Chains A and B, each alone.
Chain A
Amino acid sequence: MSNLGQNKFWKSIDMPIILLYITLVLIGWLNIYAAVFDESHASIFDLEKNYGKQLLWIATALFIGLMVLLIDSKFFSVFSFGIYGITLLMLVAVLFFGKYVNGSRSWFEIGSFRLQPAEFAKFATALVVAKYLSSGVKMERFSTKLSVLGLIGLPMGLILLQGDVGSALTYVAFILVLYREGLSGMVLVIGLLIGIAFILSLLFAKAAILISIAVITAILLYNFRRKKKIIPVIIAGAALVATMVVGFSYVFNNVMKQHHRDRINNLVGKEIDIKGAGYNVNQSKIAIGSGRLIGKGFLNGTQTKYDFVPEQSTDFIFCTIGEEYGFVGSVILIGLFLALLLRIIFISERQRSSLSRVYGYGVASILFLHLFVNIGMTIGLVPVIGIPLPFISYGGSSLWSFTILLFILIKLDANRQNIVK
């Protein structure tokens, strides 16, 4: 590559995304420091502590990101199935050789180094779905749907076998990708409704749900009042959800045995661990709620500092932000994420290559699902599902995989003038 070419290459990289990425990673690092701050290890570079280690993960992640940018973008197209295959193998292998952590067998342990293959399966799946859907298949065909379902379902199933329900659930995000690529909106709506109805029927009183459904239906009817065709669909959907809610709770309470109920409660996050999911969520809400409008300030969050919140540097890292920076800080963080997501969609839509576009939507969907589920769980909107907040949560595997996920898109985008097949 000539000097001129190199210059052009760097210029073609989308700087807003890079800036958002670096901002989020640094926010994560500072908040990990605040969350597990220990006076005897006051240096943010202390490698014995999570914050010191996170710096190493950040440095290596940047290096990996750079490597991704330097690889020829054809590589990701050509080897998409290869990468997918390797991650599947790793997912299988971890079932046999993995180490149990928190009840799921999803980690490889090599010395003090731990690796979670499920994290890497995310970008591999995004890539392979992009490759498959851009290969000229027609979404309307049943075989296409089945194949895509298989591509997504395979890693999802393997991860479920590890006992990592949270990571498996993130694959639901691909519904958005499929919708963008032509899957009927009805599938999206019905799938979503079933899921919501199921969880709602377990978590809330029936009456509250039925009222909500009525309100939502009314709003939808008003919005779509000009599209006569949709009105019966909305009404049917509402009736369906209402029936399901009543049905689920009937089956759950009257047909199932107690141990079944326990398992399902466990699955949806009710009574999930020894101290009770109620404890975690309650403490998490207390931490965030006590931040009030502007928060308690850096390192002044008592709830996170004194360990009232569990998993505070990983899955519950948002508590630290909520407590120390309050509502303002929380909104800024969500704003940064939203900016990133919208930017990714903007980038995706400017791709000439459909592989790049599909992949871009994959990235956005995965990040979006993590954002919603993770923050939603800390504020009691979503059952406790143990997945990280992208770029913010402590952990090498997740930071690396999200970095690779994002940087492949940046690479593909930088190369958008050359159509990748």
Chain B
Amino acid sequence: MNIFFERKYIIQAILIFTCFILIVRLFYIQVIDDSYFLSANNNVLRKLTVYPARGIIYDRQGKIIVQNEPVYDLMVIPRQAKNLDTIGFCKLISIDKNEFIIRINKARKFSPYKASIFAKQLSARAYASIQERLFDYPGFFVQNRTVRRYPDSVAAQVLGYIGEVDENRIKKTNNYYQIGDYIGISGVEKSYETVLRGQRGTKIIMVDALNRDQGSYEQGKYDTTAIAGEKLISSLDLRIQKLAEKLMRNKKGSVVAIEPSTGEILCFVSSPTYDPNLLVGPERGNNYIKLLKAPEKPLFIRPIMAQYPPGSIFKAVQALIGQQEKVITPESRFPCNGGYSIGNRMVKCEHNHSPLNLNESIAQSCNSYYCWLFKKLIDQGKYGSVEKNYLVWRDYILQFGIGKKLDIDLPNELGGLLPTVGFYDKYYSSGHWKSSTIISLAIGQGELGVTPLQMANTMAIIANRGFYYSPHLIKAIGKDQVKKETYTTKHLVKIDSSYFNVVIDGMQQVVDHGTATYAKIADIAMCGKTGTAQNSHGKSHSVFVAFAPRNNPKIAIAVIVENSGYGSTWAAPIASLLVEKYIKDSISRPAYYIDRLLNADLIHPTFTETKESH
């Protein structure tokens, strides 16, 4: 006990007061202020999107056309990416410092707290080398994605491509998509987007200070699993698809083959084509621009977007309408005289036939015959006026799927061109036109635009003797192999099946000993029709349509090779190889036959010159 005894109270007061300060401060940061709690979650929790694998697409034999391949997106949370060894990091992912700054600023602009993509779609190899060093770079982590891979690099225009969803699409879908999601942009990828995309999942993980994964949060209580997209079974037959793409190399044009009994598309080629793998991966943007700018327009889907006057192949349709309308019988004959005269104009015929019957008119493709027939239908029809007769005729054509969309399961299909009464009324003024005014239609020329798909479908109708199913590329969806209702509806053409035989006879003769004998296949009765679609911009287009075998047809096909002359030269032999390959799974032709087709370059001028003689 000494004189300063009472100072112990002051000292005790200091101690108690100090502890009180600590407690007040603790009360503030622990109980009152929420921000620390939120920051803690921000530190530790990472909400990862688990992207579902997109549906796989198979061909009709179960071979994979499109599959998925894992890639890795490098993500960044800008606020955590501090004190970086920027130079080392740039080296690691091979970008320069400017690029780094641009990307990090972009990410920061999106959100300093949320993850955004810093580098897209690193390959498995790049990922492996980065992963080892990633802990040196706080704020960066890797997220798994899958991208499309096309093992055979075929059917680019059928499959289409996917890409990152844009703002518009996100808004339109009520934010179903999020920034960074992939969406089908064209082709089957687009038309079956809702089936293929699957369902996103989320996973919340915890990370440590070095950003290393420390496992799931609360045993995954808040996680949702990703559901993979459904598989699609395409109607394509990879065997002939691949062969057709090879044969069409260096040629502009289309090949469409359909199984007549179902409407399933067996082969769908738009040439020139491109490797679908080009539109995958980090180079996608550049490649896309290149394809867009390429003079051959590989992104143009010719089978459904290119429209040609059908030419002689239209005669088969006319013959059927003529019989149904009872203006001709198989034995009706019309004079040829080397052409059909209208005043001082003349629709020339290549030949000067003696009057032919219906069967012969098809086999020998007599222009005059069909002008006479058209005159009977339009001018002398039983419906009272040229307009009404034309309307009836036009309705038949529509029933054949010409002049309207066939509802194929691809976006951007065009319906073609088939003039209405109104069109001619306006053009020639009402009452001032008749068959002779529009006589080009008689032989498939003039104001007609038919897509290769419609040509093939017309063949399917003839092969079926009067009906078709809308052609489609996906025959079954998902595990349960569902088929879209659109594609199980039978479309009947109002033409009696008995009228088909004579037309088919003529078409068989075309192949057996007519204009397409070069395309004749041993043991297979193929019925076909060559065409030469006139083209005001240059050389005619070589067209060939066919189906085979004659009984129980398995395949209907249309081949168009642009600016290459007669149908018999290029289109018919290409079609014939494909038909044989499809039906017999082998080709009996000699090598030179195939090589001539494979090696021909009809796009690049130097080669075209030498082939001019055909």
Chain A residues with a Cβ under 8 A of chain B: 176, 179-182, 185, 274-275, 283, 285-293, 302-303, 305-308, 322-323, 326-327, 330-331, 334-335, 337-338, 341-342, 345, 348-349, 354, 361, 364, 368, 371-372, 375-376, 379-381
Contact = CB atoms under 8 A, between A and B. Distances in A.
A323 B44 CA distance: 14
Contacts of B14: 176
Contact of A372 (B3, B5, B18, B209): B18
A179 B11 contact: yes
Contacts of B4: 180-182
Contacts of B12: 342, 345
Contacts of B11: 176, 179-180, 345, 361, 364
Contacts of B21: 381
B23 interface: yes
A179 B86 CA distance: 55
Contacts of B3: 182
B593 interface: no
Interface of B: 2-5, 7-8, 10-12, 14-16, 18-19, 21-23, 25-27, 29-31, 33, 35-37, 39-41, 43-44, 83, 206-210, 214
Contact of A292 (B19, B22, B30, B83): B30
A302 B8 contact: no
A409 B25 CA distance: 32
Contacts of A372: 18, 22
B562 to A, nearest CB: 65
Given A285-B29, A306-B44, A327-B26, A290 B210 contact: no
A74 to B, nearest CB: 22
A303 B40 contact: yes
A381 B26 CA distance: 10
Instruction: Tell me the interface secondary structure of chain B in the complex.
Output: helix
Given A290-B40, A331-B23, A307 B16 contact: no
13 contacts: A180-B7, A289-B33, A289-B40, A292-B30, A302-B43, A307-B210, A327-B30, A330-B23, A335-B19, A337-B19, A338-B16, A338-B19, A345-B12
B19 A290 contact: no
A134 to B, nearest CB: 11
A303 B30 CA distance: 14
A368 B18 contact: yes
A293 B30 contact: yes
Given A176-B11, A289-B40, A326 B19 contact: no
Nearest to A181: B4
Contact of B30 (A275, A322, A368): A322
B30 A326 contact: yes
A47 B210 CA distance: 25
B27 A327 contact: yes
A153 B86 CA distance: 46
Contacts of A335: 19
Given A330-B26, A349-B5, 19 more contacts: A176-B14, A185-B10, A286-B43, A289-B29, A290-B36, A291-B30, A292-B31, A302-B40, A303-B40, A308-B44, A327-B26, A327-B31, A330-B30, A331-B26, A334-B19, A342-B15, A345-B8, A381-B21, A381-B22
A290 B214 CA distance: 19
B43 A334 contact: no
A286 B39 contact: yes
A317 to B, nearest CB: 15
A236 B2 CA distance: 30
A291 B12 CA distance: 30
Contact of B208 (A185, A290, A306, A338): A306
Given A286-B39, A326-B30, A307 B208 contact: yes
B26 A274 contact: no
Nearest to B30: A327
A364 to B, nearest CB: 8
B44 A334 contact: no
A372 B17 CA distance: 11
B30 A306 contact: no
Which of B11, B16, B18, B40 lies at the interface centre, i.e. has the most chain A CB atoms within 10 A of its CB?
B40
Contacts of B30: 288-289, 291-293, 322, 326-327, 330
Cβ-closest 5 pairs across A and B: A289-B36, A290-B40, A306-B208, A307-B209, A289-B29
Contact of A286 (B22, B31, B40, B210): B40
Which of B23, B27, B210 lies at the interface centre, i.e. has the most chain A CB atoms within 10 A of its CB?
B23
A176 B39 CA distance: 39
Contacts of A302: 40, 43-44, 206
Nearest to A306: B208
Given A179-B7, A342-B15, A376-B22, A288 B210 contact: no
Contacts of A376: 22, 25
A348 to B, nearest CB: 8
Contacts of B15: 338, 341-342, 345, 364, 368
Contacts of A179: 7, 10-11
Contacts of A364: 11, 15
Contacts of A291: 30
Contacts of B208: 305-308
A354 B30 CA distance: 43
B22 A322 contact: no
Contacts of A285: 29, 36
A311 B159 CA distance: 57
Contacts of B16: 338, 342
Contact of B35 (A283, A289, A326): A289
A326 B31 CA distance: 9
Nearest to B39: A286
Contact of A288 (B19, B29, B43, B214): B29
Nearest to A350: B1
A291 B36 CA distance: 9
B18 A379 contact: no
A354 B15 CA distance: 22
Contacts of A323: 40
A349 B8 contact: yes
A302 B214 CA distance: 10
A286 B7 CA distance: 39
A182 B8 CA distance: 11
